[in-house]
Amino acid sequence: MDIEGTKTGVGLVGGSLNLGLATYRKSVSETKRAAILKAARDIFLRDGYSRAAMAEIAREADVSTATLYKHFDSKETLFASVVQDAYRETDSSMFVDIEGKSARTVLRNVAALYAQQQFDGQMNDLLRVVIAEVPSAPDLARDVYRNSVLKRYSQLQAMVDELVARGDLRPHDTSASIRHLAGMVKEFVVWPGLFALGFKRPDDMDAKIDACIDAYMKIYGARPPASGASREDAIGT
């Protein structure tokens, strides 16, 4: 009898079982985390941050309070994760490979997805909750701003830097220009949405986004090279 071979076979089976169990446990953990985030979003939007109770969130997610705290050690951490999760839902589509796409197409895609998120992703509602907590929980508001808003600005700036590097936009202060673009779009979708309850996505949102991109490209777009001039002359390098 090949005892060594038998031991090896048993070891392989045992290893496969352990791997399968680990995969299963990870899947269960991720499912519970997703359920907690969904329940938390619903309750934070309904009750606000201060009145939301961790025990109620656990019940809504159908998990124990111990499981809830295993994933999120505080209500502040949970709320910040809810906001970050909402950002990630759109960021995966917003910041994609831009090779072969014009600057206008890239920036319009970003602006359109941002506008969509403010309404379909309930971001305006979540921002209202954050703003309401600034006086009583300034650290929470600061963390949300740093880990969500500023993180997105960093991603957008990296994208615009790439557009500059390949000559589609002229060299400029991209940290400032991305805020110019964001400010134009926010004027149509964020500020009205924050202060006017029941505000809906404007029917002419596409036209408004096009106007924002037109203005941005007029300021920062690479100039067509004059007759006899090189591409480098056109973008100012």
Tell me: the pLDDT tens digits for 10-59? 555 556 666 677 776 777 789 999 999 999 999 999 999 999 999 999 99
Cα 99 from Cα 62, distance rounded (Å): 44
Q: Write down the domain spans for the chain.
A: 1-73, 74-237
- Helix and strand totals (H; E) in the chain: 12, 0
Q: What is the pLDDT of residue 8?
A: 54
- The answer as to CATH 3.30.365.10 being correct for domain 74-237 is no
- Supply the pTM of this predicted model: 0.74
3.40.50.300, 3.30.420.480, 3.30.70.3040, 1.10.10.60: CATH of 1-73: 1.10.10.60
Q: What is the pLDDT of residue 128?
A: 87
Give the torsion through C-alpha atoms of 133, 137, 140, 144, to 10 deg: 30
Q: Is 134 helix (H, G, I), strand (E, B) or coil?
A: coil
